[in-house]
């Protein structure tokens, strides 16, 4: 299939055009595009938005509009995600995904890609606290990997507290982290097992940390 529509979708995310992003997403789905390609395109658009924000070429209201465009497009694409047919699935590996902050865009993208990779995903939600993480993980049971999406620098300490709390009762649970506020150095400092730079890396890490 032509990549022109996917290029246009990415452009609409960067341009914060929610209506056109939604329309192009609908067209891609109706024409049989792989929803994982669509999700990856949306993710790449958000990465470019983040880069422009760091360069001070975009400002917070524009970033929020771009995130809104991405979320509206994701709502359409995610229900079409199915486990990969190539046999490279993760069996019964359960991954818990949450965010210590108020934003769910990164968590939503990674969750969709994990589902596409054959994982069972436990959604821990946003504004995750150590106490909430412990209770939800114990109630759900069986998670081998915890993923934390950390977008705000102010949420780094919260992520560290969640990991510390988890280590006190389940030393076998592996933790991977990602997001704008994360990098390999910070991940090591907060005692995470691994850092993933994007959703594709998160799927690979979840498979490795889960024992496949």
Delimit the domains of the chain by residue range: 4-80, 94-209
Q: Which pLDDT tens digit goes with each residue over 73-106?
A: 998 998 888 766 554 544 568 999 999 998 888 8
Exposure of 60 by Cβ count < 10 A (0-12 exposed, 13-18 middle, 19+ buried)? exposed
Q: How far is CA 119 from CA 84, 86, 116, 144, in A?
A: 10, 14, 7, 11
pLDDT > 70 fraction of the chain, expressed in percent and rounded:
94
CATH of 94-209, one of 3.40.50.280, 3.40.190.10, 2.30.31.20, 3.20.20.10: 3.40.50.280
Class of the CATH-defined domain 4-80: mainly alpha
Token pair, residue 101, equals: 């902050």
- State how far the Cα of 9 lies from the Cα of 7, in Å rounded to an integer: 5
pLDDT band per the 50, 70, 90 thresholds, residue 48: confident
Whole-model pTM? 0.75
């Amino acid at each position: 299939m032509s990549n022109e529509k996917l290029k246009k979708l990415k452009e609409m995310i960067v341009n914060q055009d929610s209506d056109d992003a939604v329309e192009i997403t609908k067209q891609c789905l109706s024409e049989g595009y792989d929803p994982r390609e669509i999700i990856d395109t949306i993710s790449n658009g958000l990465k470019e938005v983040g880069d422009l924000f760091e360069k001070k070429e975009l400002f917070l209201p524009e970033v929020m509009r771009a995130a809104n465009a991405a979320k509206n497009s994701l709502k359409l694409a995610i229900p079409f995600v199915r486990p990969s047919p190539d046999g490279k699935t993760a069996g019964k590996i359960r991954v818990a995904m949450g965010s210590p902050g108020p934003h769910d865009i990164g968590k939503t993208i990674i969750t969709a890609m994990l589902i596409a990779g054959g994982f069972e995903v436990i959604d821990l939600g946003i504004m995750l606290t150590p106490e909430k993480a412990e209770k939800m993980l114990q109630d759900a049971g069986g998670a081998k990997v915890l993923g934390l999406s950390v977008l705000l620098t102010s949420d780094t300490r919260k992520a560290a507290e969640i990991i510390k709390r988890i280590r006190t009762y389940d030393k076998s649970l592996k933790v991977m982290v990602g997001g704008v506020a994360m990098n390999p150095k910070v991940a090591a400092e907060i005692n995470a097992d691994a850092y993933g730079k994007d959703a594709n890396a998160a799927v690979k890490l979840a498979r490795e940390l889960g024992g496949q």
